[in-house]
Structure 1
Amino acid sequence: MDSKHLITFITVARLLHFGETARTLNYSQSTISEHIHSLESYLNVKLFERIGRKVFLTDRGKIFLPFAERMVREAEAARQAFREDVVFAGSIVVGAAETLCAFWLPPLLKRYRTLYPQVQVNLKVGNCIDFPQWLQQNSIDVAFGLQDEAGQPQLRQKSLFSGKTVLVAAPQHELATGKTLSVQQLNGQTFLLPEGYCGYPVDLKHLLEKERIEANTILEFGSLESIKQCVKYELGISLLPEIVVQEELQRGELAVLPVAGLDIPIQAQMLFHRDKWMSPPLLALENVILADEGRAAEVR
């Protein structure tokens, strides 16, 4: 099987459009059809079917897709292995939780771009729950999230750093007395939380449910900065990573609500698909991240 034919098949499988595939790969549409026909003849199966103007993968096509992706990755890996020079160029797509984008990832990406200026880094902010699917679909190359995915065998996970969260409110909030609070005193409060279905916001929701704490309402935001501003204006209280609110706490713009038994940590994870080919730029990014964690461990 010609690797060009496999790449054509994979692209059609993703785009489900022969014309768009032709434009993407800079082929004529007839060439795309020839590639697919050649593969179908070799395998003696039908990979796609047309219904009206739409293209769909057949059941056999769905089965063949992961094999095709693996063969292309291994062929490229073999080619790279025998290159005399390694060029750090091209692009990588990074998926990351908004929490990590707010305080941890930017300086590392800056360091990476300084070391490898010819690599274009595309950042895709999303919810942790989406990252396994994005990695499976190859729409991102690596993910940085807050969810433990050790139970998913198709993923390779590396734990990075841990941190603590704090419950914060405006300094003039009725609970901001400096005294230790019970979880029950949170009853009837308005909670402002990052949107999503994983990590510390979900842990807080589970704790409130376990302790039978009824919130007045729970509002979800797509931006940590929006949450902090709303908390400052007494629109509610929020659980946030301590490092995210350090400056506001130092300036007295926010206050910590010490709640007995409220111990919800964060744990950052780096995720790759196990079948992902680690290109030189992607391997370099992994090394930059792990080197930074090594320095942080030495400081601690």
Structure 2
Amino acid sequence: MNTNDLKIFEAVAESGSFTKAADRMFTVQSNVTARIKSLEEEFDTKLFSRTSRKVELTDEGQLLMKYAKQIQYLVEEAKNEIKSSDTVNGHLVIGCMETTMALKAPEILLAFGEKYPAVELEFKSDDRDMLISDVLNYKLDAAFVSAPLNVNGLEKIKIKEEQLVILASSKESSLNNLVTKEALKSIVFDNGCIFRERLESWFSHKGIHNYKSIELNSIEGIINFVEAGLGISLLPEEVISKYYEGRKICTYPLNKQLGTMTTLLVYRKDKTTSRALQGFIDMHLQDII
């Protein structure tokens, strides 16, 4: 077995097809079939169940996939570490929420780039569950997510606490008057967003069930819709006070349980931490950002 066999194995698992895996790996289907057969003989088990429509991982195949991702990751890390023993280099992919991407990522990139200029730092935004899944599956080196978190296999560092507030247009006389309207609308990100979950929890706590959601994909869009009086939303207070203070928006506090959000930095336990990732972790432990 070599690492390319594992790459072929992953390609088959992800595409569900020997033909598609061959295209992805720039080889022929017969080679893919041969390499999978060789792996099955080496591990003395069936790695895929084959049907007329697709191939799927067996339980044993799922287990091998877990180790294959670790092996591929470690090989790439070893290459990066060996390339230059006296310089921290490599490529880090960090996951974050939309607000972190828009408001914090630029200053993190600047501070980290000054200290580790040879490391390529990339950010990707997604919802909390997907960020956690991508860290566990080696698609992200680390991610900023909201607490609480109790997931096996992840280390976590507390980064900061933020206060969340409800946003409404300053055209409205009061929040109480607004939420009693029959046509109440929430201006939110897609499902899975922590801010949307908190707002919906607040609605439930207040006994508000007759509302509709307008989904947007940017903070600026949410601010514009709220300011225009199209509905209410929920975001960190810092976002409003630091970047949108002059807008025609009123903010309303929440109780401590709903209004406090703790941000964590999470990364995998079961791997050797690269010098690049350790540098990123240390930067936050030292409160540089």
TM-score (norm 2): 0.80
Q: What's the offset of the Cα at 1:86?
A: 5.4
Instruction: Decide whether aligned partners of structure 1 residues 249 and 225 sit closer, same or farther in structure 2, where only a CA change above 3 A counts.
Output: closer
Instruction: Decide whether aligned partners of structure 1 residues 52 and 281 sit closer, same or farther in structure 2, where only a CA change above 3 A counts.
Output: farther
Name structure 1 gaps, 5 residues minimum: 176-180
Report the residue type matching 1:186 in the other structure. V
| CA distance in structure 1 between the partners assigned to 2:244 and 2:12 by the alignment | 52
| CA distance in structure 1 between the partners assigned to 2:254 and 2:177 by the alignment | 9
Report the residue type matching 2:138 in the other structure. N
Q: Which residue of 1 aligns with 2:203?
A: 208
| CA distance in structure 2 between the partners assigned to 1:268 and 1:220 by the alignment | 23
Q: Which residue of 2 aligns with 1:234?
A: 229
SS at match of 1:138: coil
SS at match of 1:285: helix
Which whole-Å deviations, capped at 9, do the CAs of 1:11-60 have from their partners, x for residues lacking one? 43334444655565566665544433332222122223544474332332
Q: What's the offset of the Cα at 1:238?
A: 2.1
Q: Which residue of 1 aligns with 2:220?
A: 225
Report the residue type matching 2:273 in the other structure. M
Q: Is the 8 Å Cα contact of residues 200 and 265 (structure 1) preserved in structure 2?
A: no
Q: Which residue of 2 aligns with 1:250?
A: 245
Instruction: Decide whether aligned partners of structure 1 residues 92 and 50 sit closer, same or farther in structure 2, where only a CA change above 3 A counts.
Output: farther
Q: What's the offset of the Cα at 1:92?
A: 2.9
Q: Which residue of 2 aligns with 1:14?
A: 14
| CA distance in structure 2 between the partners assigned to 1:110 and 1:137 by the alignment | 28
Range with greater deviation from structure 2 (222-231 or 74-83): 74-83
| CA distance in structure 1 between the partners assigned to 2:255 and 2:147 by the alignment | 25
Q: Which residue of 1 aligns with 2:57?
A: 57
| CA distance in structure 2 between the partners assigned to 1:28 and 1:290 by the alignment | 49
Q: Is the 8 Å Cα contact of residues 147 and 199 (structure 1) preserved in structure 2?
A: no
Q: Is the 8 Å Cα contact of residues 169 and 228 (structure 2) preserved in structure 1?
A: yes
Pair 1:38 & 2:38 matched: yes
Q: Is the 8 Å Cα contact of residues 90 and 119 (structure 2) preserved in structure 1?
A: yes
Which whole-Å deviations, capped at 9, do the CAs of 1:199-224 have from their partners, x for residues lacking one? 23312321221221345433232211
| CA distance in structure 1 between the partners assigned to 2:153 and 2:283 by the alignment | 23
Q: What's the offset of the Cα at 1:191?
A: 2.6
| CA distance in structure 2 between the partners assigned to 1:26 and 1:266 by the alignment | 46
| CA distance in structure 2 between the partners assigned to 1:121 and 1:18 by the alignment | 34
Range with greater deviation from structure 2 (189-198 or 80-89): 80-89
| CA distance in structure 1 between the partners assigned to 2:72 and 2:257 by the alignment | 49
SS at match of 1:270: strand
Q: Is the 8 Å Cα contact of residues 80 and 89 (structure 2) preserved in structure 1?
A: no
Q: Is the 8 Å Cα contact of residues 186 and 215 (structure 1) preserved in structure 2?
A: no
Report the residue type matching 1:57 in the other structure. L
SS at match of 2:122: strand
Q: Which residue of 2 aligns with 1:187?
A: 180
Q: Which residue of 2 aligns with 1:178?
A: none
TM-score (norm 1): 0.77
Which whole-Å deviations, capped at 9, do the CAs of 1:243-295 have from their partners, x for residues lacking one? 1112565325322245778961222121223334433333333233333xx24
Instruction: Decide whether aligned partners of structure 1 residues 168 and 85 sit closer, same or farther in structure 2, where only a CA change above 3 A counts.
Output: same
Paired residues in the alignment total 287
Instruction: Decide whether aligned partners of structure 1 residues 19 and 258 sit closer, same or farther in structure 2, where only a CA change above 3 A counts.
Output: closer
Q: What's the offset of the Cα at 1:227?
A: 0.7
1:281 to 270, 276, 282: 276
Report the residue type matching 2:59 in the other structure. D
Q: How many percent identity over aligned positions?
A: 24
